[in-house]
Amino acid sequence: MILARMSSPTKSVLADDVEIVRRVLAHIDAGTTDEGEGWREPVENYLNPIRFAEEFGLLRAMPSALVPAAAIPNPGDHVERTAFGVPLFAVRGRDRRARVFRNACRHRGFALVEGAGCAHALVCRYHGWTYRLDGSLSHVPHADAFPDLDTSTRGLVEVVSREVDGLIVIGSLDAGHPDVPADEAMVALSDGTAWRDKLLAAPRLVYTQSTVRAMNWKVLVEQFLEGYHIRSTHSETFFPLQYDDLNVVESFGPNSRITFPYRNIERLRERSEATWTTDARVTYVYHLFPNVMLATFPDLVLMVVIDPMDIDRTRVTIYTMAKPEAAQRLDPATNPANTLLARGGVEDNDMSEGVQRGLHTGANPFVEFGRHESAIGHFHQTLDGWLARSAARRA
């Protein structure tokens, strides 16, 4: 089932550029940052296999962003990704609608799509069963060998999906899961007003990278959600360009947006507010609950997908999109983020790997998050709330 492409004209629930600049300049003058509630997350919640299984089941039952729409811009374009242990692929049909299917031929279950590509039809490499771009079965070699086969009922198995302002969003992967009201959860990802202008400004997918990291998925989420570490972790990369421990933090439903201002934002003091823009003056990080980050940069937007595999292994897939003027000058064989951004990413991952090791020492009963790390608390509080609701429904 495919639900219509969503593109709401409603006003964003987040602050506009002028308000963000006002808040940032006020923090610079006062030496402050946005504050919220502190949070203490039990270490046991990162290490307990029962807790992980509960989280994994919840994530499979919840809607999430699968891939950027930029990955399949034209009819026939297709791309695969394993989401929460389920192999899937997205494909753009001749009618230009994006559809998502379970990545298995209906004959013997062979993976129909491998990597990314473009085709007029989807052909299984094993025995040649062929499917149209809408998933219907169009050809079976030696069909007389299957006298009871009803081709009209053996199309690819579709997953509920929506195209939401530059994202392909999927519904529950556990159909009929009794513990999660999937329609309610989908609402938080069904209106792209919050991220539309940023993501749609970078419509060209120019690079994709997928890596398995030796850490819990929540540790990876946490590394994106605070600027308290900028000076100490990124002393030679981000800190010369950005402020340490200065962020604007906003939430919209279970999701968050964290603003990381650049030092050049102070140049706006001399200009009329009517001309203020945050373009090339901040990085926005949108956390789309539960496991996706959108990060904006002057020429690029990154979609970072965090897929838990087990307690301390997580696959991280990064889709790099470019603005049209930047895409023309990029080498398609080279990661365009493979400079300052890559170095900063290595630094963040080094810190997260250290946290993962520290979780196993037994030194701490909980992980401490201060008032300047409130977006992390929002993430954990939201996750705990959904888990509690699931448990209550089972009781």
- Please report the pLDDT score of residue 2 as a whole number: 39
Q: Look at residues 235, 179, 229, 205 and name the one whose alpha carbon lies nearest to residue 390.
A: 179
CA 85 to CA 81: how far, in whole Å? 10
- Return the C-alpha torsion angle 174, 175, 177, 180, nearest 10: 90
- Please report the pLDDT score of residue 337 as a whole number: 63
For residue 314, with 0-12 CB atoms within 10 Å meaning exposed, 13-18 middle and 19 or more buried, which class applies?
buried
CA 381 to CA 375: how far, in whole Å? 10
CA 178 to CA 111: how far, in whole Å? 29
For residue 300, with 0-12 CB atoms within 10 Å meaning exposed, 13-18 middle and 19 or more buried, which class applies?
buried
- Please report the pLDDT score of residue 315 as a whole number: 97
* CA-based torsion, 173, 176, 178, 183: positive or negative: positive
Retrieve residue 171's tokens. Answer: 């519904």
pTM for this structure? 0.93
**pLDDT per residue as tens digits for the range 352-368:** 999 999 999 999 999 99
- Return the C-alpha torsion angle 173, 178, 180, 185, nearest 10: 70
- Please report the pLDDT score of residue 187 as a whole number: 83
Spatial contact of 315 and 309, defined as CB atoms under 8 Å apart: yes
DSSP assignment string, 307-323? EEEETTEEEEEEEEEE-
- Return the C-alpha torsion angle 262, 263, 269, 270, nearest 10: -110
Give 2's DSSP letter.
B
Spatial contact of 347 and 189, defined as CB atoms under 8 Å apart: no
Retrieve residue 359's tokens. Answer: 């979780």
Name the percent of the chain in helix, strand, coil, to the closest 5: 30, 30, 40
Spatial contact of 101 and 75, defined as CB atoms under 8 Å apart: no
- Please report the pLDDT score of residue 252 as a whole number: 94
Sites in the chain below the pLDDT cut of 70:
1-12, 175-183, 331-334, 336-338, 395
Retrieve residue 7's tokens. Answer: 């593109």
CA 312 to CA 345: how far, in whole Å? 19
**pLDDT per residue as tens digits for the range 369-383:** 999 999 999 999 999
- Please report the pLDDT score of residue 283 as a whole number: 98
- Please report the pLDDT score of residue 176 as a whole number: 53
